[in-house]
């Protein structure tokens, strides 16, 4: 696991902390994203083509 930060090219938005994790299955990556209450993850399989994977909203209503 490698820490990272997402920065908009214009630098007008604050950076967002992230992680780059190698070797996860799609299911494991989804579970990790859900555990950290993410809306989506970027995942790439053996073909190295990145995919945006939307995750279900698992937050409890207020």
Kindly state whether residue 9 falls inside one of the protein's structural domains.
no
Kindly state whether residue 22 falls inside one of the protein's structural domains.
yes
pLDDT tens-place string over residues 35-60:
988 999 999 999 999 999 999 987 66
**DSSP letter string over the chain?**
-EEEEE--TTS-S--EEEEE-SS--HHHHHHHHHHTT-SEEEEE-TT--EEEEE----PPP-
Kindly state whether residue 1 falls inside one of the protein's structural domains.
no
pLDDT tens-place string over residues 5-29:
988 889 888 888 888 899 999 999 9
Kindly state whether residue 47 falls inside one of the protein's structural domains.
yes
| pLDDT at residue 62 tops 80 | no
Kindly state whether residue 38 falls inside one of the protein's structural domains.
yes
Q: What total number of domains does the chain contain?
A: 1
Kindly state whether residue 46 falls inside one of the protein's structural domains.
yes
Kindly state whether residue 2 falls inside one of the protein's structural domains.
no
Kindly state whether residue 6 falls inside one of the protein's structural domains.
no
Residue 37 belongs to what domain range? 15-54
């Amino acid at each position: 696991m490698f820490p990272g930060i997402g920065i908009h090219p214009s630098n007008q938005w604050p950076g967002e902390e992230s992680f780059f994790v190698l070797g996860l299955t799609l299911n494991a990556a989804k579970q990790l994203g859900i555990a950290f209450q993410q809306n989506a993850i970027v995942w790439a399989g053996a073909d190295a083509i990145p995919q945006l994977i939307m995750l279900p909203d698992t937050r409890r209503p207020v």
